[in-house]
Structure 1
């Protein structure tokens, strides 16, 4: 795979031919989800593949297997149980037999083939004209969606047209329950399961046009159910129920030139939502409702949801169709991947594959949530609700780490408990606390949702701040400044360091935001404030201590270079010599070198200090930002997909426009062109969201960190214009940046006051416009 793997189309991703060697990563490209269920882009007719050639994948967000973790050497506080998103029974497969020949793209002749992801509609369509080994020609159209209207439902439609024969077609729909994860392939650095089959079949049956299954996970004890309901013009020829599989076979008598339609509704649920003894009845009911609507109506509803999303989140670029395609591909995937129920989060791979075991990381709060906060604030709120929902687990984790008060969120998790087994790159990343707090505060700043502040956000901000007030100390050797030791920042090539700049900066702001939240809560709802103070046993003297920390936070600083080193020891590490590292090992350092070798080098895997300066750029002069950017440019390897978008945004702010565009271009099509050669395991959700940030926070210069909305737009020389929308405290603003001007249009009757290029602008009513020279 390489640059422009797919034809350049603004709203469509097209696979023009079937190539087995491209199959694995195409399963991710054409993956569909709705935040609750997700499915990989495998073929409806099924096909044989090895663990290196493909992965059948169907998932429920947050539904996992847990195993006891075996350590060679164990220490107190290490996670004892794993969490892995579990691959669930597959109901997509429909075997097609054309007058005795199995429809199989590996045999016969493919006369015509294409598969399209219709991003505007939220649908995948595959068209195949195929001639069987016996010369029978058929035109097949396969349509698939994962419903945004009905969270439990996936819908499939197959249309078959015999071109040069009349005869028999058999369609066999399957329920394959004997599934297992491809852990060793998709997560090669872990040495625990789930290996083998982990979903015990409790019920499996074929009745009428239904296939139904109920299963229980061996170790986690979670239960789920799934099923399908089919509608076919033929008659049921055979039904079969085996130990782990069930099937229904339909026989059709077909006439040359006539089109025959086969529809299948597929449903999944689990005991997060419904009692185990009611699951099968629930699935049957949901499937019937979906079938009563029919596939065509389901597709209309899907398009309606997608139209609503694109009206708020689309970014229109004039002048570079390849990047336009990449932007929309990225926005489509992060939109469909986000949990929507307040109980689940969003995995770093969404629901597109098994990579990272389906874990939720800081990627959600620092990369994805800003996109939703400015475009789909209700969706952002649901993802924040997940963090509030797991606050008690974070409190328990804080105590394990020696903090009597407060909450410490896990580095990687599904159920709210820490699942990271390598603590230098996991638990030591305390900055996850501040990242989550940052997202809560950003949501409050942009939406003005005081009710959410009172109900949830203030508690999270205070409990995360309490850990920062305990983890460090005022060090005499650092002029009694507040120091935080033995942590890992975002850069995973420098672990267990003292005074990581990013961590200290974000910790200070977490504390500042917690103080603000308490003051505002007291002002809004004194009774709720008193109840919170009592609930968490908060003392006034804690605020006095917070003030000391805020005023005296330590930041490493080099007077000679006038930069902020990433941590206390960063500048004294061994200069990185890339020439000594074989090219094939450069992007896989931890797979090829001992961690201690990596930790001793003066280089960074990804944006670290630079990220902190970007998020809080209001504290730095442009010259300070330039000096630090110039330095970190020389030592950052960008071995993480989370890195280039951040450098690009800051480059734009400081006027390095060519570099900004270069970094943006690398980010925009990173997954679409499989630049890191690992897209098969799932999407890179953070980088995908970083593309949106690259335009909105980068080229358009949108900021809110000074306490109000600021916009400083510029137009990349490669473009004619770009256009997007923002939500800010109830106002909807359209922004179009062209060669010499920016045009602002208020889209609703909610007055908006903001600053553009230093000029204060007020738009009062729907349709108000303001044009400004740039």
Structure 2
């Protein structure tokens, strides 16, 4: 099948023709969200595609259905109920009839067609010139946005212009509430659903130009409400409301060559935000506000929000238009996907599809959050707030796993409780604790937000550290070093291993960060420190034990190769022979081979030990980094979308510039070019964020792991220049790297001090620049 590609454009992604076979993945490309509601890029007029051809999708972040999980054999501590992001009623559908003929891309003739994601404006625009079977030509323009100014609102505008006739245009606005998830297609390894319809209608009614719906999930017993209101010069001709669907119809007379406009405002909310009895009245009131504002006002507000985002987050590349488009596409999608209310996180697929059941993973903290820490620290803080607000659930989970103190965060979740059903690749990934701790510490290092340390971060750092002090032991057979057994690191092809290098390293630094947080908190606010110590029943002996762990953490080491193996058994596993694996099965090992076969091979699915060495590169010499990089290059298959960006960043640091650029290029357009052939199920948010890291942490060499901001910039030989912004302790700085020099410019009045190629630099006032030769 021909590959779906888009023309290279700086600020747009454009579909130039409608091809049915490309439809499913294009729904993800043109998906829109605002961190609260998300909608897939389906057509306004609707279409009866099968489960293999398309997926209508509308979601509320954090709104889920649960199912009893069926196990062939159950053990204590296995999650008993699931959480799945639920597909919600669709209100986008608006059919159009021109003089009695239905506007339908599958009938008649498509004379002109284009659909564009305008990344600098935050909207999707579709332009169609269509000739009906009877020869009537119409120009149709569809605009859609999910408001960044109002989290509950989606807005649609449709303009119809008769080209060679005049007559009646009929718009019919629908609610389709009999929706269900495409679990078998989007999550084929899941056997517990939700299958079938899971929203029970509590109320469905029309009210003048409004359609209003309220429903409750069958199992989680959560209620949500949604509705739409129409704005048009036409008059209502029909209102039909059934048990699970309904529509209102409007007719307007259109003259030849003159456009008629139809607008629809849509709103969603749930009882996660307010008492159940208030959700439907809230929707009615919200739609009334939206009707007054109108589409054009929402579009203007959207542009303001996008300008604000791009002013700090944009990366400008001169010399490679394809990668320029790729990086902006990636940044746009992660920005619009992140929860902003402190109560929700960000799914691995954002709000673009049902993949991974909408679960939050470590992807947020290790890949996405660093982007926001440096470009939108307030958004980063809201994502961290979600983890703080689910700390009690993590404490409960720790006790289930046998830890009487501390907190153990779930591997995959929506509501804060563990939802991973296969513990070797789920619960065993204890490193989630250290990943979350790393994100909190990174936020504190880059923002200098001492109040957040006192209010929330210190507690999370201490409680995550406590689990590390309990899960391992000082092993006599390892010279009394501290060992952590039976865990799974980031590499999911090596499960339930002893002394995973990444896990041990991150655990040690988690404990070190907790001790740092306590010391700093005590120096800042001794009363708050004492209250935390009392609340957590923290004793001096516990801290002394932590210090002993820090000084005696065990790391596997191969004396012959002078490298750090991923775990104690990695070097004695069977050498991987790719030639024995049929090509069509290589990227789907778990779908084609028993896990035990996979576990016994000396190979890695993705960056594991290398990721730890990158994050804490200050602990390793350049020669150590090179030796380990060279080794892991030979055993890593990069079967995860989270892998290539990490290898590329480390390659850049150690001077492997050609490999760095190769890896970056693979990451930058992974979704835009659908390199993994699964974009239909939703974005790969971690990789998308990893491309920003590939430039800022990779080519520009930005680091903070030595306790200060350091930069070691270089220019890829394929580029003429690139530039980006970073926040640091309240300062906003623009960095431009070009041939032979780097320019630093302070964008606000907060002074900044940093090192560039080991040279101390201070910028004191807005507009001040410093140029350094490189």
How far the C-alpha of 1:113 sits from its partner, in A, is 0.2
- For 1:47-446, what aligned pairs fall within 5 Å after superposition? 47-446=47-446
Q: Distance in 2 between matches of 1:281 and 1:341?
A: 21
Cα shift at 1:99:
1.1
- Inter-partner Cα distance in structure 1 for 2:708 and 2:743: 20
Contact 2:4 2:22 in 1 (8 A): no
Superposition pairs for residues 664-683 of structure 1, below 5 Å? 664-683=664-683
Supply the distance in 2 between the matched residues of 1:440 and 1:279 (Cα, whole angstroms): 34
- Residues of 2 paired with 1:732 and 1:152: CA distance? 31
Aligned residue number for residue 771 of structure 1: 771
For 2:667 and 2:709, how far apart are their aligned partners in 1? 26
1:638-696, Cα deviation, whole Å (9 max, x unpaired)? 00000000000000000000000000000000000000000000000000000000000
**Is the 8 Å Cα contact of residues 84 and 358 (structure 2) preserved in structure 1?**
yes
Give the drift of 1:4: 7.8
Separation in structure 1 between the aligned mates of residue 86 and residue 610 of structure 2, nearest angstrom: 36
- Write the distance in 1 (CA, Å) between the matches of 2:539 and 2:66: 38
Q: Could you say what secondary structure the match of 2:77 adopts?
A: coil
Residue 501 of structure 2: aligned partner: 501
Residues 587-666 of structure 1 mapped to structure 2, 5 A cutoff: 587-666=587-666
Partner of 2:29: 29
Give the C-alpha shift of residue 101 in structure 1: 1.1
- Structure 1 residue runs of 4+, over 6 Å off? 1-4
CA distance in 1: counterparts of 2:666 and 2:243, whole angstroms: 48
Structure 2 matches for 1:433-582, cutoff 5 A?
A: 433-582=433-582
**CA deviation profile, 1:596-655 (whole Å, cap 9, x unmatched):** 000000000000000000000000000000000000000000000000000000000000
Structure 1 equivalent of residue 11 of structure 2:
11
What's the CA shift for 1:186? 0.2
Instruction: Tell me the SS of whatever aligns to 2:491.
Output: coil
5+ residue gaps, structure 1, are none
- Counterpart Cα distance in 2 of 1:659 and 1:219: 50
Q: What's the counterpart of residue 714 of structure 1?
A: 714
Alpha-carbon offset, residue 456 of structure 1: 0.3
The 1-side partners of 2:274 and 2:574 are apart by 57
Contact 1:2 1:675 in 2 (8 A): no
TM-score, with normalisation over the residues of structure 2? 1.00
Counterpart contact for 2:730–2:750, Cα < 8 Å: yes
Q: How has the CA–CA distance of structure 1 residues 490 and 2 changed in structure 2, closer, same or farther, with 3 Å as cutoff? A: farther
Distance, in Å, in 1 between the alignment partners of 2:5 and 2:687 is 19
Aligned residue for 1:765, secondary structure, equals coil
C-alpha distance in structure 1 between counterparts of 2:545 and 2:279, whole Å: 52
Output the CA distance in 1 between the equivalents of 2:519 and 2:2.
Answer: 53
* Counterparts of 1:427 and 1:450, CA distance in 2: 32
Deviation at 1:290?
1.3
2:189 partner SS? coil
1:585 equivalent in alignment to 2:585 = yes
* Contact 1:2/1:673 (<8 A) preserved: no
Name structure 2 gaps, 5 residues minimum: none
C-alpha displacement of 1:255: 1.4
1:409 and 1:432 in contact (8 A); partners too: yes
Query: What's the offset of the Cα at 1:51?
Result: 0.3
Match of 2:693 in 1: 693
CA distance in 1, matches of 2:546, 2:522: 18
Aligned-partner Cα distance in 2 for 1:187–1:355: 6
Change (3 A) 1:4 1:99: closer
Q: Deviations over 1:448-487 (max 9, x none)?
A: 0001000000000000000000000000000000000000
**Shift in Å at residue 2 of structure 1?**
7.5
Q: Do the aligned residues in 1 keep the contact of 2:726 with 2:733 (CA within 8 Å)?
A: yes
Distance in 2, matches of 1:282 and 1:419, equals: 31
SS in structure 2 opposite 1:294?
A: helix
Which range moves more in the overlay, 631-640 or 253-262?
253-262
Q: Following the alignment from structure 2 to structure 1, what is the Cα–Cα distance between the partners of residues 231 and 520?
A: 57
Q: Distance in 2 between matches of 1:66 and 1:57?
A: 18
Partner Cα distance (1:470, 1:407) in 2: 11
- SS state at 2:544 partner: helix
How far apart, CA to CA, are the structure 1 residues paired with 2:519 and 2:442? 17
Aligned pairs, how many? 774
Asked whether the 8 Å contact 1:556–1:565 carries over to 2, the reply is yes
CA contact (8 A) 1:169 1:253 kept: yes
- How far apart in 1 are the matches of 2:291 and 2:518? 51
Residue 698 of structure 2 aligns to a residue whose secondary structure is: helix
Query: How far off is 1:136 after superposition?
Result: 0.8
Tell me the SS of whatever aligns to 1:95: strand
| Counterpart-to-counterpart distance in 1, 2:238 and 2:136 | 24
The structural deviation recorded for 1:291 is: 1.6
Question: How many angstroms does 1:253 deviate by?
Answer: 1.9
